Amino acid sequence: MLAVLVASAVVGAFLRVRLPAPHRSSESVDFLRNVTALLVTFAALVMSLLLASETSSYNSAYRDRNNYAAALTQLDGCMKDYGSELAEQRQQLHGYTAAVIAST
């Protein structure tokens, strides 16, 4: 990235002396500064919208994971209340949950 920046500066310095005088006026420079500022503002806006979208997706996944964990805990508690009748199913649930956690 630094190499591209340095190469652009060298090309810009070379082209500056070859540009006609009207293109080097202060009005042209001010216009280019304004256009650059506008493009930077648009880029910042797009990046902030992308960040907001990703934050929303992350929060949604976090909330879903917590709800799933709470539901598993509640299911295990209900199965425990039934006693030894569901001991095998509880072990299967524990094994499945451990396998899912290990695979992520």
CA distance 22 to 52: 43
pLDDT at 46: 98
Give the tens place of pLDDT for each residue, 53-67: 999 999 999 999 999
pLDDT at 47: 98
- Domain coordinates of the chain in residue numbers? 2-103
pLDDT at 104: 81
Stated pTM of the model = 0.61
Q: Which residues of the chain carry a pLDDT beneath 50?
A: none
